[in-house]
Amino acid sequence: MMRPAQVAALALLAALAAPTQLAAEPMYSYWLSSQYKLVVAYGSEAIINGTYSFTVDFTALVAMRVDELRVQLWLVRGTSYRSLLSATLARNVTVGAGWALSRTFSVTVRGDPRADPILLLRVTVSVTVNETNLASTHELALAPVRPKSYDSLAERVSQLESEVSELESELKGARASYYELLGNYSELSSSCEELRERYEALLREYEARLAELEALRSRLELALANCSRLSRRLEELRSDLERVQGLYLEFKSKYEELSDRYEQLLVAKEELSNRLSMVSSAATALGLVLVATASALAYLLRERIRPPRAKGASEQEQPSPPQGVT
């Protein structure tokens, strides 16, 4: 809450900040001679980095030749002049009485407002009437250049007045609260000691909890370290598992291949066993044939080497063929 002296000082500042003119009304300046009339309409203030406009009206009162009608605008800051505009409205134009020319100009004013600059207008008029040249220069300080306009200042004053009114209301509420708190001061004083004791007890409990928290934090850090170690071990086991799974799939493929080969060998064995049985039977028959053949050959050989007998021998005395030969 603000004190009454502060509120009064703020109200005084707001009053001092109020401008003497709260609205920027257009202004006029004119020069009248027997040959022409020159009127300049312009604003009473210019804003830094804002647009400033003014209008130049020239009216011929007699027939003449306008040799030159030129407008120049400067930003004047102390002894420093900076040109903002230079324009020629008419040159070497023959006109009659009543001829009028009006031109409105708009320029952007840029400068340092701390130096209190002003806008200076110069209108150069050179005419020839009855072959007599008449030249004159009219200068006019148009407006001061300010960082803010009168309207914005008036709005700020209104805002400050509203803030002062709100502060006064808050001050009244604060004063009422102050008296109310003053009445409860004794009661609050009696409760202060009790609150202090309660605070000290809570502080001791807080310190105990803080020590317990530090112990838990240490245990947590240890658990995190173990968790990190177990995570690395888990990654190693996962890698070993993937390698073993690869070996298992490789051996499983080989086992299936060997199983198929074993089944093929069993079938081949069965076929070979059958063929062996057939070969054994054929070998047995062939052996019998060979034995019979050998016996026959032996008999024939004996018959060839035996000495010949006398003719007339009885056929019954001829040896009988060996057994088993048909």
Q: What are the boundaries of each domain within the chain?
A: 25-148
- Minimal CA–CA distance to 151: which of 11, 20, 15, 24? 24
Q: Which residues of the chain have pLDDT under 70?
A: 1-25, 112-115, 149-152, 306-326
Question: What is the CATH T-level fold of the domain 25-148, as seen in this structure?
Answer: Immunoglobulin-like (2.60.40)
Alpha carbon distance, N-terminus to C-terminus of the chain: 151
- What are the pLDDT digits (tens) for 175-193? 888 887 877 777 777 788 8
In this prediction the pTM is 0.42
Give helix 185-305 / helix 150-183 axis angle, nearest 10°: 100
Q: What is the pLDDT of residue 150?
A: 64
User: So what's the pLDDT on residue 25?
Assistant: 66
The token pair at 196 is: 């202090």
Backbone angles phi, psi at 45, to 5 degrees: -150, 155
